[in-house]
Amino acid sequence: MVRSGKMLVTYGAWGVSTRGVAAAVAEALASDRLSVDVRPAREVDNLAGYRAVVIGTPLQAGRLHEDVREFVERHRTALHDIPVAVFAVCLAMKADTPENRRDVEGSLATLWEACPEAKPVDIGLFGRAARPREVALQRLPFARRARHKNMKPLGGSYSDWDDVVAWTARAHDRLIGG
Ligand SMILES: Cc1cc2nc3c(=O)[nH]c(=O)nc-3n(C[C@H](O)[C@H](O)[C@H](O)COP(=O)(O)O)c2cc1C
């Protein structure tokens, strides 16, 4: 099984959570033989050269990000031939219950209504991001915590890293073979 090539991780986002998870997925996917581009969905004009695609979206009021809807619509022909995995980042998945999964998966399923051949090989569901910087701050002694609070945040926020890495490993195998 050939595992080399290039993959795309693309996302729509209102805030920073989905972008942070997309970056974590890309980092977990990348290897010596597999390069990974991370790009906002609205900036992707062409899927030529990608052997697989991972699409990430947040949810607002049960709806997926418009950029992701448009991405699937715009690339529907190419997506027939490229394996796709999808992940959602949303508050509901902070409580990973069968009901919440069903609701979020129901929202994601609307993506494939116009493009049934492009059904994802895997779906990742992540609760709204935990913020490592804030978690780290809580562990600092009070005086240092006050000083660090005035510093600029270092970056985005991330869902639980272990969950993202575990899902990415499974999605990788389904996208391009284990
Ligand atoms: C106006 C608004 C509506 C939201 N609606 C939902 C929702 O219906 N279901 C859900 O699980 N999360 C909902 N959320 C939570 C977002 O999905 C969550 O904050 C997500 O991490 C945002 O990702 P982003 O930072 O990449 O934009 C909502 C958040 C906002 C601000």
Q: What DSSP state is assigned to residue 158?
A: B
Does residue 95 lie within any of the structural domains?
yes
The boundaries of the domain holding residue 124 are 5-129+158-176
Q: What DSSP state is assigned to residue 129?
A: P
Q: Ligand 1 — pocket residues by CB below 6 A?
A: 13-18, 58-62, 89-92, 128-129
pLDDT score for 115: 81
With 0-12 / 13-18 / 19 or more C-beta atoms within 10 angstroms meaning exposed / middle / buried, residue 162 is exposed
pLDDT score for 151: 41
158 CA to middle of ligand 1, Å? 14
Whose alpha carbon is nearest atom 8 of ligand 1? 61
pLDDT score for 79: 93
Positions in the chain whose pLDDT score sits under 70: 1-4, 128-159, 178
Whose alpha carbon is nearest atom 1 of ligand 1? 60
Does residue 98 lie within any of the structural domains?
yes
Whose alpha carbon is nearest atom 25 of ligand 1? 15
- Which domain CATH number covers 106? 3.40.50.360
